[in-house]
Amino acid sequence: MATIAMDPSLSLQIGRGSNQHGAVPVKEEIQGLIKVYKDGHVERPQIVPYVTPALPPELGVTTKDFVIDNFTNVWARFYVPKSNWKLPLVVYFHGGGFCAGSAAWSCYHEFLGKLAAKAGCLIVSINYRLAPENPLPAAYEDGVKCLMWLKQDALKGSSEWWSKQCNLCSVFLAGDSAGANIAHNVTTRLNSKNLYPLTLKGTILIQPFFGGEARTNSEKNMVQSPRSALSLPASDTYWRLALPCGTNRDHPWCNPLGKGSAKMEEMKLLPTLVCISEMDILRDRNLEFCAALGKAGKKVEHVLYKGVGHAFQVLSKSRLSQSRTNEMIARVKAFVNR
């Protein structure tokens, strides 16, 4: 299996206006991940290898890529473990601040292959459109479109290789970081949709990427290494690139607890599992989100993984991170098989 051919913790340093695309100055940059020039040109260095759907045979997981929408080039990678019974379906959205990442990144391919095998679930990993070329709500729209595609495919039975092993009455939306934000916002958009024969049972939010104009304690005071997967300057840059022009971090898509957001009590939300990292700048914001769900009477449970930072499950190969990743997979398995 391909692995990350780089420093697994990444080096995300902000540099603005220092590099040139010809004579055009840089408008925004997260070093190693994305560079946006003032003329709109976008560069994304290949910091993580892109890999084919192949997985080691001993993992017992069949994989295949499907095009969801030819016009927007949205596609999905399916992970189907060998099983004698029908499995829960997890629709997964990768992280990357809405601006980077891919369902074909080796780190996600490795993690989701392992998750499918060990948690006993069928996974559909969505390769949605990225900002700033496609600012929000493009990623949310792609998520809804993928659910409708899965619905239609299940109805016509054209993909028996996956739907035959899938428990269509046990569907979960999941993701990490920006992907968790997408899973949450797609859930709110599906309330008015008829998804039969699919039945949504819950959401799994791993280090959900939310924000706000007012800083939390962990955002202000959490000391981050220069190689951290998410710094506060990087977070702010992602939001500037992803949110609609003229908005700020109190936009409901960024801050679900802000004054302009819908009241949690009035929202139809699914039972939710939130996975939080102790050393993540998003820690306090994630905890506040869980508290708000609970106060609104929603079913929510959260786990705090000690000693690890943002995106540890896909970016870190340390012994502690691997141990915490196995704990996370076990918790997800319990949640989807409840």
What are the residue ranges of helices labelled H in 2-105?
A: none
**pLDDT beyond 50 at 17:** no
DSSP string, 215-277: PPHHHHH----TT-S--HHHHHHHHHHHSPTT--TTSTTT-TTSTTSPPGGGS----EEEEEE
Q: How far is CA 327 from the centre of its chain?
A: 19
Rounded to the nearest 10 degrees, the angle between the axes of helix 319-336 and helix 106-119 is: 50
pLDDT of residue 158: 67
**pLDDT beyond 50 at 5:** no
CATH number of 92's domain: 3.40.50.1820
**pLDDT beyond 50 at 14:** no
Strand-pair category, 200-206 with 300-305? unpaired
**Hey, what are 46's tokens?**
């290949």
Helix (H) or strand (E) holding 317: none
Q: How confident is the model at residue 37 (pLDDT cuts 50, 70, 90)?
A: very high
Classify residue 74: in a domain, yes or no. Answer: yes
What are the residue ranges of helices labelled H in 164-231?
A: 178-189, 217-221
pLDDT of residue 157: 78
Contacts of 326 (CB under 8 A, 6+ apart): 118
**pLDDT beyond 60 at 125:** yes
211-229 tens-digit pLDDT? 999 999 999 999 887 788 9
Classify residue 262: in a domain, yes or no. Answer: yes
Q: How far apart are CA 135 and CA 292, in angstroms?
A: 27
Tell me the helix, strand and coil percentages in the chain, rounded to 5: 30, 25, 45
Dihedral sign of CA atoms 74, 97, 242, 14 in order: negative
Of 157, 57, 165, the C-alpha closest to 120 is 165
Q: Which residue range is the domain that position 259 belongs to?
A: 47-219+230-337
Classify residue 38: in a domain, yes or no. Answer: no
Contacts of 268 (CB under 8 A, 6+ apart): 188, 191
Q: How far apart are CA 73 and CA 16, in angstroms?
A: 30
Q: How far apart are CA 16 and CA 234, in angstroms?
A: 11
Classify residue 111: in a domain, yes or no. Answer: yes
Active site residues: 177
Classify residue 240: in a domain, yes or no. Answer: yes
Classify residue 29: in a domain, yes or no. Answer: no
Q: How far apart are CA 204 and CA 336, in angstroms?
A: 9
Average pLDDT over residues 103-122: 98
Strand-pair category, 87-93 with 74-81? unpaired
Residue 191's Cβ-count burial label (10 Å; 0-12, 13-18, 19+) is exposed
pTM, full prediction? 0.93
Of 132, 103, 92, 107, the C-alpha closest to 238 is 132
Residue 243's Cβ-count burial label (10 Å; 0-12, 13-18, 19+) is buried
Of 97, 114, 118, 96, the C-alpha closest to 105 is 96
Classify residue 243: in a domain, yes or no. Answer: yes
pLDDT of residue 164: 84
Rounded to the nearest 10 degrees, the angle between the axes of helix 178-189 and helix 138-156 is: 60
Q: How confident is the model at residue 130 (pLDDT cuts 50, 70, 90)?
A: very high
**pLDDT beyond 70 at 20:** no
Number of domain units in the chain: 1
Classify residue 39: in a domain, yes or no. Answer: no
135-189 tens-digit pLDDT? 999 999 999 999 999 999 988 876 667 888 999 999 999 999 999 999 999 999 9
Q: Is 203 helix (H, G, I), strand (E, B) or coil?
A: strand
